[in-house]
Amino acid sequence: MLYPLLKYVLIGPVLWVLGRPTVEGAQHIPSSGPVILAGNHLTFVDSLYLPLVVRRRITFVAKSEYFTGTGIRGALNRWFYKAVGQVPIDRSGGDGATGALSAATRILAAGGIWGIYPEGTRSPDGRLYKGKTGVMRVALATGAPVIPVVISGTESVNPRGRRGWRLGRVHIAFCEPLDLSRYRELAMHRAVVRSATDQLMRELQRKSGQEYVDSYANRYRTESASDS
C-alpha cells in the first residue's frame, strides 16, 4: 500500500516535475519473473527514479542502520525505506555480504526484481568504479537475467554535497540483458565471477560514457579522507 502511495501520489509527481525523466529500452524488462537491474550510482535519488519509471515493483537491499534509528526521525526513516521497497540487511562483520546476497536470492526466488548498484556505493566524483562481484554471484547461481541500467542527470536534481533538490533532466536507459551463457558451467570459480562482473561494468561504461576507475569506490573514499 505504501509503495504505490509514494510512487503515484506523494513523491512520484514531485520527481516527475523536478527531473522530467525520459526512458530508453524499457521493453527489455520482462513483464513477470525474476530479473536483476544493475546500474551505475550517482546520487541518492537514483533509487527513487528507477522505481518511478518501472511498472513492476523493484526491491533493493539496504544497510540495517536505516531501519534502527530512534525517535521521530528514526521512525520516519523506517517508514520511508520500507515504503520505497528497501529490505534491511546487517552489513556489519564478516557475514554482511552473505546476508545481502541471501536477501537478493529470496527476492528473485519469489519472481521479483532486485535492484543493485554493483559499485556498492554512490560514485564520489561522477566516475564509474570497479564493480563488486555479488551481483554476478547471485545471477549465475539463480539464472536470473541481468539488465544493465544507465542513469544520468540525477546528479543535477540531487547534487553531491548539497542539500535540497533542483530542476534537472534525468535519463534512464535499460540495456539488453547480458549474455552470461559462457560463464554458467564454471560459475563457482572466483575468476569467472570476476570476469562476468567486469563484462557488466564495461557495458555500463560504454553506455554511460563515464570515466572508469579500476578501484572500488569505497576504497577511494577512504584513501581520499586519509589524504585530506
Architecture of domain 2-227: 3-Layer(aba) Sandwich (3.40)
> Mapping DSSP to helix (H, G, I), strand (E, B) and coil, where does residue 158 land?
coil
pLDDT of 97 reads: 64
- The enclosing H or E element of 24 equals strand 22-24
- The enclosing H or E element of 149 equals strand 146-152
Sequence ranges of the domains in the chain = 2-227
CA–CA gap between residue 218 and residue 215 (Å, rounded): 9
Cβ neighbours of residue 188 under 8 Å, at least 6 residues apart? none
Neighbouring-strand partners of residue 150: 173
| Cβ–Cβ under 8 Å, residues 169 and 156 | yes
pLDDT string in tens for the chain (228-residue length): 677 888 888 889 999 999 999 999 999 999 999 999 999 999 989 999 999 999 999 998 866 665 566 777 767 766 666 666 676 665 544 455 677 788 899 999 999 999 999 998 899 999 999 999 999 999 999 999 999 999 999 999 999 878 889 999 999 999 999 999 999 888 889 999 999 999 999 999 999 999 999 999 977 655 554 444
For 105, other C-beta atoms within 10 Å of its C-beta total: 17
| Cβ–Cβ under 8 Å, residues 213 and 204 | no
Burial of 3 (0-12, 13-18, 19+ CB in 10 A): middle
Please tell me what DSSP assigns to residue 160. T
**How does DSSP assign 62-115, residue by residue?**
EEGGGG---HHHHHHHHHHHHHTTEEEE--SSTTHHHHHHHHHHHHHHTT-EEE
Neighbouring-strand partners of residue 60: 86
| Cβ–Cβ under 8 Å, residues 88 and 62 | yes
pLDDT of 90 reads: 56
In angstroms, what is the C-alpha Rg of the chain? 17
Set of cell numbers at residue 119: 559499485
pLDDT of 168 reads: 96
CA–CA gap between residue 107 and residue 109 (Å, rounded): 6
φ, ψ of residue 82 in degrees (nearest 5): -65, -40
pLDDT of 185 reads: 85
